[in-house]
Amino acid sequence: MTLDNNNIDVVFVNPGSRQAVYQAISESTKKKSRYTFLLLRILVVSTGIVFGVIWLSGDQRWDKLLSIFCRISPLVFGATFGIFVVGQIMLAFRWWLLLRTQSIIISFSAVVRLYFLGLFYSNFMPGSVGGDLIRAWYVTQHTNKRFEAALSVLVDRIIGLFSILLVASFSYAVFLTSEARRKISEDNFFKIVGDHSNILLWFVIVALVVSALAFIFKSGRIIFGKIFSKIYFYSAKTLKKLYDAIVIYCSKPLAVIAAFGLTFFLLILTITGFWILGRNIGIGVGLEYYYVFFTLTWVLGSVPVSIGGVVVVEGLLAYMFINFAGVEPEAALALALCQRVFLMISSLPGAVIHISGRHLPKKFSVDFK
């Protein structure tokens, strides 16, 4: 049906053409949603960077930060970076182990290349396609067990996040002193809400007004209906994948236990490396703070509100060290920025792999047994 001023022409199309039109509209809507989400993530990163620059511009903080970087020992910096890179390679080994558990025989070097390719996409590429999706896509091109291969990426991520939460919880409950726990509990969510109650009140009012106006108009009700239907669809889809992963990997408990054990070891090794770097910077707090703060920021940084967790991870890490451990702001920020530098540099091999085409199937040695 087409509209031309006051004239209405009705055009009947066959079901196949109608389905093609619906599919084109659906693809256009998805593309707009991806662009909107991308713009919001860029906005978060840009806002955080601007705020950081403004904060550093006062009280000679630029000079203090520069002096901290200048006194970092190149040997300590290099050793910590080496530990970080080894940790990334061992995380690729964990994924390779999960693949082998399902008899997906791919060479370790191929898995490492795919892992670093995903790392590059997660930390450098601003698009909606994350590193996990890249890994899942390419690994399914190298085996006839595509479902199990894609699930291995999900299980790998779940094991990583769950291990991080366990280390954070154990360190908080066992290692932190009662005084440190008291500081953290005093600065909890409810206290933050109380301190910013006026802002929260206006936010709630605006949200209610916008929601009411949206429900008044038919177009608004349609948009809300689509949003809720998508949330339901993707939630059900994710739960189904999670259930399938649990069923598959519960039949191989030793491999899962080995993956958890490897993850705990890597977490301790990597965080201890950052503790050594922090001591060189001049941060004199105990190792237990690192176990709690680093693990929490890694979990919260995995929420896709920015590009590769940029600004979110650095801001949260510096905030916790400043407010809960009494660290100087410039020193805490220097440590957080060092972590970001490590992550960015270690992701660069993924760019070389992508440009050279080493991630393509013809470059891999795969056994389709």
Q: Is 27 within a domain?
A: no
Long-range CB contacts for residues 164-169, cutoff 8 Å, separation at least 24: 164/267, 164/295, 164/298, 164/299, 165/295, 165/299, 166/264, 167/264, 167/267, 167/268, 167/291, 167/295, 168/291, 168/292, 168/295, 168/296, 168/299
- What's the pTM? 0.74
Per-residue pLDDT tens digits for 79-101 = 999 999 999 999 999 999 999 88
- For the stretch 175-184, pLDDT in tens is 665 556 555 5
Tell me the residue range of the domain where 254 lies. Answer: 77-187+249-367
Q: Which residues of the chain have pLDDT under 70?
A: 1-35, 37, 126-129, 175-204, 206-221, 223-224, 227-228, 231-232, 234, 238, 241-242, 245, 359-369
- Is residue 35 included in any domain, yes or no? no
Residue 63 lies in a domain: no
Give domain status of residue 29, yes or no: no
- 363 within a domain of the structure (yes/no): yes
Sign of the alpha-carbon dihedral angle for 221, 222, 224, 229: positive
Q: How far, in Å, are 23, 96, 161, 250 from residue 156 at the CA level?
A: 33, 10, 9, 14
Structural domains counted in the chain: 1
215 occurs within a structural domain: no
Q: Which neighbouring-strand residues pair with 106?
A: 366
Looking at the domain assignment, is residue 210 inside a domain?
A: no
Type of residue numbered 346 = S
| 152: in domain | yes
